[in-house]
Chain A
Amino acid sequence: MNALFQRWPVIRQLLHGGDGTGPEAMSDATKSLRPRNSGAKVARSICPYCGVGCGQLVYHQDGKLISIEGDPQSPISRGHLCPKGAASYQLLTHSQRATKVLYRRPRAAAWEEIDLDAAMDMVADRLWESRERTFVEAKDGRRVMNTTAVAHLGGATLDNEENYLIKKLFTAGLGMVCVSNQARI
């Protein structure tokens, strides 16, 4: 009861003085305020936007993202981020992100959600059939071993490891030569 009474700022004012703008007016929440990422786990990361390659600290706790900010140790960015880099947290958490595989049948006017594994099987089948149909082994006696009827686009936003697997499977494995991305000069 007395404690409760003590928590009424007016009483604090009467007892300890203060014009109502200082500690006497602070709520318990304010007193116990801490940064959101306090004590969170941190992953060392790199900004996904442009080619500068700013270092990022990704704070997370119990499998949830908490915040993303610049990595002060980075010899390139020295902890700074541009507006895009600073928006990385929203990039990963915004409501418009796709989280289910969407499938559109021929001539259909709407998406339908489908199971990931089923989708993988379907894509593998389509790819295999198209390749079987269009693969060229040789032309006037010279080796060709390619298909130009299945193509790939993209890579400059992907990881090196991902690009490596794309080129390895699509070109070295399947003979796809139409492989391209944003990068030019």
Chain B
Amino acid sequence: MPGLGTSFGRGGATTAQQDLANSDAILIMGSSMAENHPVGFQWVMEARNKGAKIIHVDPRFTRTSAMADIWVPLRAGSDIVLLGALIRFVLENKRDFREYVLHYTNAPVILRDDFQDTEDLEGVFSGWNEAQKEYDFETWSYRGAPTVPGAKVHGGHAKDRGGERSRECIYDRDLTLQNPRCVYQVLKRHFQRYTPELVEQECGIPRRIFEELAEAFCSASGPEKTAAICYAVGWTQHSDGVQIIRSAAILQLLLGNIGRPGGGILALRGHASIQGSTDIPTLYDILPGYLPMPYFDGDSGSLEGYLKRHTTACGWWSNFEKYAVSLLKAYYGDRATQDNDFGFDWLPRVTGDHSHLGYWLEMDKGNVEGLFVMGQNPAVGAPNSGLERKALAKLKWLVVRDMVETETASFWLDSPEISSGQLRTSEIDTEVFLFPAAGHAEKNGSFTNTQRLLQFHEIAVHPPGDARSETWFMYHLGRRLKEKARANPSPRNAGLNALTWDYPVEGPVAEPDAEAVLKEINGWTTADRKLLSSYRDLKADGSTASGCWIYTGVFPAPNENKARRREPKGRYGHGWGFAWPSDRHILYNRASARPDGQPWSEKKKLVWWDAEKNEWTGYDVPDFTKNKPPDYHPPADAKNDDALAGDKPFIMHPDGFGWIWVPSGLKDGPLPTHYEPLETPLKNRLYPRHATDPGANKLENPENPYANSPDPRFPYVLTTYRLTEHHTAGGMSRYLSHLAELQPELFCEISPELAGELDIHNGDFVTIVTARSSIDARSLVTARVRPIQVDGRVIHQVGLPYHWGYKGLVKGDVVNDLIAISEEPNVRIMETKALLCNVFRRENGRDPQKYSRDGEREIPEASAESEAA
């Protein structure tokens, strides 16, 4: 979560869904919240009924727009232009929450003189290495902050992305904000060209509407008011997704909307435990609690180097060692000792891009032997899924665990590649296992929801037949492997032999006790297994173990599983589940009080300093050291949290500030910059020489080709999205009659104008073609999709929901076949929200003979038409 992580310190939504009810304005952008999070949307409706302005920015008029006061259609992929212009609007019109900005953000901090902006270097910041395609970000540091040469940003999800080259706790500030090198001035200059005119030209948003939007949002911010921003994958699935979120973070910091009731940035997750699966990651680049994985290069040769590199001098991450060692103790138990660096050397090193997209291309080259797929369906849900399916055929063996026979499990039997003859069942050597999985009511366990809330779900009935939980599968697989390792104590098996795997099992199928696992995650003292109630109790000497330090406190006593609590109390329902960290629902809530500790306003009070009790108190658990007074000033030699003054709410950051400027930790710049999508119909009028995000990886190859920008063969902008009635790749919806009947067929939304040009009637079968592939869909011709007028041209946009596949009660072509495998620099996510396509009307209904993706025959004439438009 680098977008939120670098800006505020933690990679999680800063607020809670219920808190939206306290907002005076809500900007929903990069999300159709009413459609994809309907129950969460009830809080937006509540705010609306209280008079809050609801603003929805989306290329299409969706069910969310239908509930909004203002709908702002924009060209897909132009988000940073709009957000940058909002930032400029705030700065030019002095609408920023000055006292908040001065004390709680790094806006006054002075930057180095040798830093150069994208405005100076035509689209890149200083430090760009064209040959290596990466930044040396030394010049991004604060002035006077010593730096450690030679280190390297790895990007990714880790707490700091390997970025501590500078010591951000050392800085000079100019509280007048006049110094031309202070962040505030640099920011102002960086966005000077992001004018309403530019918005009109690039986003296609008329000036009046932009001004109304800006006015509505800014006038709902300040001491008496707060505004919130909600986003989802409509922002993240861009080649500059992290920077879009950064823009929102900057805007919210300038307006003083972070850490305050009704403010914040709410990242809306699409799965029950998306947040959980990054907190306790099944990701390659981090360990639980956002601790970075050891890297082959850099300083991960030894525990010492690893700790030295990631431990900050001040701020919360100065406790890094405690969390790292406690994790190793949780993993390797008694065999992890001071002498063997707590088994650090047993951990594998990251030697490259092992993300889904990265290793899948290796798989395509035949470099992967075996694959486990659990509760995911890449044959439908992953970009360029045609390539993904073909890569599956190169495996020696494949294990799929799901509640149904997914497209992934049966790629060898009835995938489009089989019917088209690109693959032959009789030639696919892959051994495939399909294990039936248990459903949520058939096992104990906890989900972490979109607002970092751990909620336990109890078993109601046993799963049918041989269906089992992943807990069961992993435990019993591990048992077998540990037996093999015991028989063969070679160095490579040392870690496996040391691995603690003694979970109690119960019942006829020997189901491991999920709560026992949660206790290990929570952590205990290694001596007497006493459960810990706070990560403050974690030690670096091996006397404590904790599987995920941010979750410590969820299971403080043998019979006290807080994720299982069901007694909500107070404004945020404390007593229902457990919000990490330490049951704090609104993060950085120290910022809801003035520097002197008193609320900004009675209306917006949340957490404040109680002078009598000498502690922070309020409606939420203070996200701050409880007894650190507001006027505390650290002595010169202070370390870690004590080095942060009493008015520094962003305690994870070494300087305690909210980061308008990110000195380290991002691979593509300290400030967001508008880059075009990897496929775009327009030139980048701001930075012609660096049109797209310099750090983005196109992974271009014959199997994963791109259109030119612009490309007469692919004149229209394609954007993909979800429907309320279905769930992602469909494994949990297309097999259910009650859901399948509600959206039984793949359709594509096009405007009446485009339909007119292409002579397409509502309901016609159309073929959508991209540089990768082509699919068929029914056309839904609707005025909810509008051509965008940018740069004096009309840009047509085409919308496609992506839920269908070749299994289930309702079938349809796989939309993700159209998407390119590409990687955003920081988190390696693909770009699904803005690419180029062409559309044709099927003459006689569905035609099995697809348009070839490079079929020159029909494509040019179609583009001729669109030029005429």
Contact = CB atoms under 8 A, between A and B. Distances in A.
Direct contact of A and B (CB under 8 A): yes
Interface of A: 41, 43-56, 58-60, 63-65, 68, 73-78, 80-85, 87-88, 90-92, 94, 96-111, 116, 119-124, 126-128, 130, 133-137, 139, 142-185
B732 interface: yes
B568 interface: yes
Nearest to A121: B480
B461 A126 contact: no
Contacts of A106: 428-431
B170 interface: no
A101 B404 contact: no
B349 A159 contact: no
Contact of A150 (B287, B371, B427, B447): B371
B368 A158 contact: no
B282 A155 contact: yes
Contacts of A47: 272, 440
Nearest to A61: B461
A179 B370 CA distance: 12
A78 B576 CA distance: 12
B269 interface: yes
A166 B592 CA distance: 39
B427 A107 contact: yes
Nearest to B362: A148
Contact of A155 (B273, B350, B457): B273
Nearest to A116: B466
Contacts of A55: 455
Given A50-B271, A51-B275, A145-B346, A44 B403 contact: no
B459 A43 contact: yes
Contacts of A157: 271-273, 375-376, 732
B508 to A, nearest CB: 12
B447 A160 contact: yes
Contacts of A87: 733, 736, 738-739
A75 B573 contact: yes
B370 A159 contact: no
A73 B469 CA distance: 27
A156 B714 CA distance: 34
Lowest 5 CB-CB distances: which A-B pairs, in order? Answer: A75-B573, A51-B269, A53-B449, A159-B445, A99-B465
Given A46-B447, A103-B432, A162 B474 contact: yes
Interface string B457-483: 111111011111111011111101110
Contacts of B564: 44
Contacts of B732: 48-49, 84, 91, 157
B477 A43 contact: no
Contacts, number: 509
**Highest count of chain B CB atoms <10 Å: which of A45, A78, A90, A108:** A45
Contacts of B2: 185
Given A106-B430, A179-B281, 15 more contacts: A48-B732, A49-B732, A65-B441, A75-B18, A87-B739, A94-B736, A99-B467, A100-B466, A106-B431, A123-B477, A144-B296, A153-B373, A156-B270, A164-B521, A171-B287
A172 to B, nearest CB: 4
Contacts of B446: 159-161
A171 B441 contact: no
B808 A177 contact: no
A83 B467 contact: no
B461 A144 contact: no
B868 interface: no
A165 B548 CA distance: 12
Contacts of A104: 412-413, 430-434
Interface string B468-508: 11110111111011101000000110011001010000000
Contacts of B846: none
Interface string B1-31: 1110000000000001110000000000000
A153 B374 CA distance: 6
Contact of A177 (B348, B405, B520, B824): B348
Contacts of A184: 236-237, 241, 824, 827-829
Contacts of A84: 724-727, 732-733, 739
B267 A45 contact: no
Contacts of B451: 53, 76
Given A157-B376, A163-B282, A51 B449 contact: yes
A97 B436 contact: yes
A99 B468 CA distance: 9
Contacts of B453: 53, 76
A78 B228 CA distance: 21
A13 to B, nearest CB: 40
B517 interface: yes
Contacts of B237: 184
B367 interface: yes
Given A45-B440, A127-B370, A158-B375, A182 B277 contact: yes
B354 A177 contact: yes
**Highest count of chain B CB atoms <10 Å: which of A47, A133, A147, A160:** A160
Contacts of A50: 36-37, 269-272, 450, 727
B274 interface: yes
B562 to A, nearest CB: 13
A96 B495 contact: no
Contacts of A54: 39
B475 to A, nearest CB: 7
Contact of A75 (B274, B282, B284, B572): B572
Contacts of B144: none
A48 B351 CA distance: 34
A175 B348 contact: yes
Given A76-B17, A82-B39, A107-B428, A149 B370 contact: yes
Contacts of B355: 180
Contact of B573 (A76, A128, A168, A174): A76
**Highest count of chain B CB atoms <10 Å: which of A120, A152, A164:** A164
B499 A168 contact: yes
A45 B459 CA distance: 8
Interface in B634-654: none
Contact of B566 (A73, A96, A97, A153): A73
23 contacts: A43-B441, A45-B460, A48-B457, A53-B449, A63-B461, A65-B441, A90-B738, A97-B467, A105-B431, A109-B426, A111-B434, A144-B349, A148-B362, A153-B371, A155-B281, A155-B282, A156-B273, A169-B501, A172-B332, A173-B478, A174-B481, A183-B277, A185-B236
B40 interface: yes
A183 B514 CA distance: 22
Contact of B492 (A45, A116, A121, A137): A137
B472 to A, nearest CB: 9
Contacts of B42: 77-78, 80
Given A109-B413, A159-B514, A165-B470, A88 B481 contact: no
Contact of B404 (A75, A98, A133, A159): A98
Interface string B560-593: 0000101010001100100000000000000000
Contacts of A85: 39
A185 to B, nearest CB: 4
Contact of A180 (B36, B270, B359, B475): B359
A142 to B, nearest CB: 6
Contact of B284 (A64, A123, A177): A177
A178 B361 CA distance: 12
B288 interface: yes
A153 B376 contact: yes
Nearest to B547: A164
B798 interface: no
A48 B276 CA distance: 13
B370 A182 contact: no
B212 interface: no
A137 B491 contact: yes
Nearest to B465: A99
A148 B359 contact: yes
Contacts of B376: 153-157, 181-182
A143 B441 contact: no
B47 interface: no
